[in-house]
A and B are shown apart, each in its own frame.
Chain A
């Protein structure tokens, strides 16, 4: 077990030190950090929760809180995943193209496909989603925003196709702001709500983006 005496140190130092100590450890190993106030212990708990370390806290006195973080399988897995991404970025930073990952993301930004016939566009989009649901390689994620948000809501004719896609592993995500703007917040019928950060992440991430409309 590694012991750290972080009494007298202000946040985030106890967390930064604990993080440094715990990251190289293997499953089952423990870091004990002693801090002198409960706020630091709470901040360590947030760190533990985010990184999935097991957290135990023992209050010895008002100025001594013993926090024990144990490396769990889940924490190690999470860490390894993080490292893998990091390496990929490293390669890219050096100008070495990382192998393009398999898979694609579909973005639906309107309830109509193509111009200028709006009604025709609706029929086409419905057909597209149907065809998509029959494909063997389903998208990683389907993002709906602006007018597209109507397709995941009550009254959409594509709900069954989208449910099938979701069942086959595609994540269905609708922009929360768009739902709110169009008063559709309580009308969402399939998938979850997303935000611009996740959308940006998805669009700039490693997967191919398919945008039929």
Chain B
């Protein structure tokens, strides 16, 4: 069996980088806003929400990717858990799912059968119905689901709305990108793979159920754009520097993020102009003024004062051997670096080792929920989430004293 070919570096490490996506999405023709479209893609949220009646809305999402593990059955499970996660992150419950399949016709069809079996089992565990799909012949395997969920329009849990003083709860450990990369080059021990697989196949349904009983200000699931990427979206941050590494003059960051003490605020960083060229990328904090200049700093979507966050690395849950995989073996991904470039100086590292930085930029597949929870109830919520059995913690706080993310010991 072509097991080795099966996994070429998949999961959310295979996503298009955030910079590329931003550039394309920003050029789509403006559409007339349907008042019943409660959440569209303008807020970078996890799924679309469309109101169909006063007390009912549908939540729609779609996710698929190439295999990130060698076992087709587990790949199916992980892809399905990942695809449905967006529904739970919005506070909804999945009701129907459609398969999306790319598969080489010449391959053993049992492999495809195992993938779809894994997916179907997770859909059943979610309480949703698998009701069709679409399959095409392709050179590489890809699998995922298009999922529809239901939600009360008054109880939509978006990724914006965090308030200063909120604690940040992460419900799964980080490092699936790093561990799966180690797995891809056959360097991960079985225990490490098992640990990551157990986390990736765990439905966010259970964590979402706990969260639904509490007042949660904002929630998202952590996937390809990394913990820091998804957190920056939650805080409504607009990156200051475009620095797209994929642009012709890409001036991406390598040491990435700003380092402590380097707090020069460049208030006139630029956005890509209409030709897609970028100016003043975040390498040295140089800046070119253009008509597209935007104000530095983050703004949450409501337009009120900027929010920032403090992340405590010592509290961040992660798979056991990620440090070794990064420090010793350099099993780092292209998309981890893209995430680093994308965030530029929205992130400040203080006392943060290289491997911890990589972990926070690591693209996650079927990652946990990241929730902004009022301080008064944070410990209680954590205690309940802990009972679900995966490493999880309160990893930091939202603050209005900063306009960026400070990562510290």
Contacts and interface: CB of A to CB of B under 8 A. Distances in A.
A and B assemble together: yes
Interface of A: 10-13, 15-16, 19, 37-40, 42-43, 45-47, 49-50, 62, 175-177, 180, 192-198
Contacts of A37: 246, 334
Nearest to A196: B314
Nearest to A13: B185
24 contacts: A10-B8, A11-B181, A11-B333, A12-B331, A13-B185, A16-B185, A37-B246, A38-B246, A39-B341, A45-B254, A49-B255, A50-B330, A175-B409, A176-B408, A177-B312, A180-B312, A193-B350, A193-B408, A193-B409, A194-B409, A195-B312, A195-B409, A197-B323, A197-B353
B245 A195 contact: no
B337 A43 contact: yes
B250 interface: yes
Contacts, number: 93
A39 B338 contact: yes
Nearest to A199: B314
Interface residues of B, number: 34
- Please indicate which of the listed interface residues A10, A16, A42, A43 has the most CB atoms of chain B within 10 Å of its own CB: A42
Contacts of A46: 254-255, 330, 332, 337, 354
B10 to A, nearest CB: 11
B252 A195 contact: no
A49 B388 CA distance: 40
Contacts of A194: 351, 409
Contacts of B8: 10
B330 A47 contact: yes
A50 B354 contact: yes
A129 to B, nearest CB: 23
Interface in B236-269: 245-246, 248, 250, 252-255
Given A12-B185, A194-B409, A197-B353, A42 B330 contact: no
Contacts of A12: 181, 185, 329-333
Name which of B252, B313, B314 has the most chain A CB atoms within 10 A of its CB.
B314
Nearest to B178: A12
B224 interface: no
A176 B333 contact: no
Interface string B265-296: 00000000000000000000000000000000
B351 A176 contact: yes
A195 B314 contact: yes
Given A16-B330, A38-B252, A193-B409, A10 B9 contact: yes
Contacts of B37: none
Contacts of B245: 38-39, 42
B337 A42 contact: yes
Interface string B1-27: 000000011000000000000000000
